[in-house]
């Protein structure tokens, strides 16, 4: 059974099956909406770093690298690319010029928000095929996953950004 693969020893079989279903659905969902990202003309790592800046605010280079789970030289190259495209700006931190703060530009914010709008439209398209009961179940499941992963504050910030853009 695929759900048993890689499961912790002694795990509840029902939880393992749920985890396997959520994992598979998350990967498929990500692949599905990623198709909309191609129009942005940026790589997945560039879009991801830009997302951290839009939803997390200005970051030091080291914090941005940590958030993206890459090493400093890799993040430096990503930020160089974003700066060249006018999507991010690197500023020396007041009081310590050795530390760079990276912030998103208005163009970077607009690009990311447009991409998010397209991904959400694609999700709405597929979710419209679900019954009202299934939609309520999906809402509940999504809220639970956000709570369990500590992402509630991030989701609220993302929703506020979208609401402010309207």
Q: What is the pLDDT of residue 36?
A: 81
How far apart are alpha carbons 82 and 156 in whole angstroms? 26
Q: Is 131 inside any structural domain?
A: yes
Q: Is residue 23 part of a domain?
A: yes
Together in a domain, 147 and 91: no
The answer to the question of residue 61 being in a domain is yes
* CA terminus-to-terminus distance, the chain: 47
What does the alpha-carbon distance between residue 72 and residue 80 come to, in Å, rounded to a whole number? 12
Q: What is the pLDDT of residues 93-102, one digit of tens each?
A: 777 777 889 9
Mean pLDDT of the 29-54 span: 88
Range of the domain at 93: 41-105
- Average pLDDT of the segment spanning 23-50: 88
Tokens 């999504």 identify what position? 142
In a shared domain, residues 99 and 45 = yes
Note whether 26 and 74 are same-domain residues: no
pTM: 0.71
To the nearest 10°, the Cα dihedral for 80, 111, 37, 79?
A: 10
Both 83 and 138 in one domain: the answer is no
Higher pLDDT, 41 or 128: 128
| pLDDT tens track for 117-158 | 999 999 999 999 999 999 999 999 999 999 898 865 555 555
pLDDT band at 90 (very low <50, low <70, confident <90, very high): very high
Interatomic CA distance for residues 151 and 1, integer angstroms: 30
Domain boundary at 105, 125, 147, which? 105
57 pLDDT tier (thresholds 50, 70, 90): very high
Specify the number of domains making up the chain: 2
Is residue 33 assigned to a domain?
yes
Instruction: For residue 44, give Cα distances in angstroms to 50, 67, 129.
Output: 10, 14, 28
Helix (H) / strand (E) element for 120: namely helix 106-127
């Amino acid at each position: 059974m695929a759900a048993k693969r890689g499961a912790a020893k002694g795990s509840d079989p029902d939880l393992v099956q749920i985890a396997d279903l959520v994992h598979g659905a998350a990967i498929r969902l990500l692949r599905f909406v990623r198709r909309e990202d191609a129009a942005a003309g940026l790589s997945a790592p560039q879009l991801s770093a830009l997302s951290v800046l839009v939803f997390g605010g200005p970051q030091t280079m080291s914090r941005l690298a940590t958030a993206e789970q890459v090493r400093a030289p890799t993040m430096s190259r990503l930020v160089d690319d974003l700066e060249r495209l006018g999507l991010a700006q690197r500023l020396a931190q007041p009081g310590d010029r050795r530390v760079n703060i990276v912030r998103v530009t208005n163009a970077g914010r607009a690009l990311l928000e447009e991409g998010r709008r397209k991904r959400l439209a694609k999700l709405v398209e597929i979710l419209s095929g679900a019954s009202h009961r299934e939609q309520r179940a999906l809402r509940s499941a999504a809220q639970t996953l956000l709570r369990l992963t500590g992402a509630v504050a991030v989701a609220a910030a993302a929703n506020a950004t979208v609401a402010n853009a309207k």
